[in-house]
A and B are shown apart, each in its own frame.
Chain A
């Protein structure tokens, strides 16, 4: 494994189960196993892509890292501090260094606040700046994300989707964090606007040496922006590797199927591909399959896959896979 000083965030066996209550007495009858034993590192200055289909637990993982949910089990080390054991006040302090950009720029900005209030709020909440200084910092932040500082007095509805997402980015940057979780930051935007926001995120990363956890379902965009990529399925990481290793030589049958399913905007390249079409749908996380989570749709599943859960192991340098069939 890598040197510990390179590691900004270390997640160890993270589990997030949401209880299901039923009946008159609201007894717990089961749980949604949204995240079920996830471990990975994020290195300083890199972008780790976290991909998977809807319901695989990628967003829940992101939220649990920031302690927006209280994880059921596991440990999360940020700069060596275990976030799980921190008190509320201590966690608040830590949040200065870790921020989030949300998916839906229409829902994540308060419609009754002006841009300057939205972007300035983290500064006043954390007592970093006050009075006129806030206004100056806000103007600077807006400029950073490519918005005209004179828009500071406007309300979110006066902006387009792409501009709103820039406001969300400015808010995340306000406290000068070292780590930002981008939770599907571009999936609500039009294609021509997506490229604008991704280029902005890349520029800011370079300028401020930011570390990103980039959560998305768009495998093409994740390939573009990430240094390493983790693939999740039904609450578990199936494969994690350097970007090129994962895309050029995917080892897990799920990753292979997922990559082959992505349409390529080029009719000539599209003809020569082999498609692996998975049967059926993702099973329910309330009652996930025994053993390997993917076995019910896996084209190469065997007896052992139903019996024991495959270990998430390093099969090549830096290339981790959870599959019995990969040697």
Chain B
């Protein structure tokens, strides 16, 4: 087994709210291998973004708090790292791009200035070197007349171009890991296709590992090699992308795939719908968080929360029921 770049163990994050403590992430463990693309899917509130923000120490505290777990990066625990050191990892070795390209750039600084900043801070470039590298980066992500456009402000760029700038900025210090949090959700489909194409190209040129967070199973199918499905702050299924779609084994994954109409028309008739709605967890659940919405629910599901167990080599699932037979596992 190749060495893990990132090794997350038992991560738990909670938020204090006026209504009580929300258990957003409830013991998440996974690894990221060198050069792989890992998709993380789930609906809003399932904890997918909070997991990644926790790893990078980007949870606002208060109200948020990482209460347990380890996040090993080259053997060092990011959760215990002093701020100064963590800042160097963030940006230089692990970079992140966010969902909304409209709000993640500073509107009063030029694009060039914002691209140069990490280069000067993290890899000690001089102003002139950074300027040159910034122009290279911009043309690498497919922005024409890169040199001139460095002097533009973010409002002079379209949404798709801003997301390209974010990607250029994230990749500027050649990180080993790129974490992308719904980077195409705010974009139109034709622009999304451009960005996905760009990421695929850069991935093969630069060879970084990618964690791609999304709610869109279509995007995951086209981009990821391995997928984590999250629900209620837990990973409920983990598999290679082909295995997940060919052989989904958690009732939630099955429902999610079944509820999607397909543009190629392969899914006809009434849409499968999962009744009810995702939970907000004010207590760490003692039962399966999906039980209230599950068709296959059994008595045991209400008493014990299933652990993520392997059902084949690279396929893990957290469910008491074997959905193929309908009987307990």
A interface residue numbers (CB < 8 A to B): 53-54, 160, 162-163, 190-196, 198-199, 202, 217, 219-221, 223-225, 244, 247-248, 257-270, 275, 277-278, 281-282
Contacts and interface: CB of A to CB of B under 8 A. Distances in A.
A275 B193 contact: yes
B323 interface: no
Contacts of B102: none
Contacts of B266: 266, 269
B44 A270 contact: no
A261 B197 CA distance: 10
B184 to A, nearest CB: 9
Interface string B184-199: 0000111111101100
Interface of B: 43-44, 158-161, 188-194, 196-197, 215-222, 241-242, 245-246, 255-257, 259-267, 270-275, 277-278
Contact of B273 (A192, A221, A260): A192
Q: Determine the main DSSP class of A at the interface with B.
A: helix
A265 B274 contact: no
Given A219-B189, A263-B222, A193 B263 contact: no
A267 B192 contact: no
Given A192-B255, A220-B260, A267 B189 contact: no
B180 to A, nearest CB: 15
Given A190-B44, A195-B272, A265 B262 contact: yes
A266 B275 contact: no
A198 B271 CA distance: 8
A266 to B, nearest CB: 6
A223 B190 CA distance: 17
Given A264-B221, A277-B194, 8 more contacts: A190-B44, A192-B259, A202-B270, A263-B219, A265-B221, A265-B257, A266-B266, A267-B222
A58 B1 CA distance: 52
Given A160-B277, A223-B263, A261-B190, A268 B242 contact: yes
Contacts of A54: 188
Contacts of A221: 261
B17 to A, nearest CB: 15
A231 B192 CA distance: 18
B193 A277 contact: yes
B259 A53 contact: no
Contact of A281 (B191, B255, B259): B191
A266 B245 contact: yes
A259 B190 CA distance: 9
Given A262-B218, A265-B217, A192 B274 contact: yes
B201 to A, nearest CB: 11
Contacts of A262: 189, 218, 263
A184 B189 CA distance: 15
Given A190-B44, A220-B260, A278-B190, A263 B218 contact: yes
Given A270-B221, A281-B161, A265 B260 contact: yes
Contacts of A190: 43-44, 215, 278
A265 B219 CA distance: 7
A220 to B, nearest CB: 4
Contacts of B261: 220-221, 223-225
Given A217-B188, A261-B193, A262-B189, A191 B218 contact: no
Contacts of A260: 193
Nearest to A284: B158
8 A-B pairs with the lowest CB-CB distances in the bound complex, closest first: A263-B218, A224-B261, A261-B193, A195-B259, A53-B188, A195-B273, A265-B217, A195-B271
Contact of B274 (A195, A224, A258, A266): A195
B197 A275 contact: yes
A258 B273 contact: no
Nearest to A261: B193
A195 to B, nearest CB: 4
A219 B218 CA distance: 12
Contacts of A196: 273-275
Nearest to A262: B263
A269 B274 CA distance: 25
B272 A266 contact: no
Nearest to B191: A281
Contacts of B278: 190, 192
Given A160-B277, A219-B189, A262-B218, A278 B194 contact: yes
Contacts of B189: 53, 217, 219, 258, 261-262
Contacts of A244: 265
Contacts of A278: 190, 193-194
Contact of B218 (A192, A193, A258, A264): A264
A246 B206 CA distance: 39
B271 A264 contact: no
Contacts of A193: 277
A194 B261 CA distance: 10
Contact of B192 (A223, A224, A261): A261
A198 B261 CA distance: 11
A278 B193 CA distance: 8
A319 B275 CA distance: 38
12 contacts: A53-B191, A190-B44, A192-B259, A219-B189, A248-B265, A260-B193, A261-B189, A267-B242, A269-B264, A277-B194, A278-B190, A281-B159
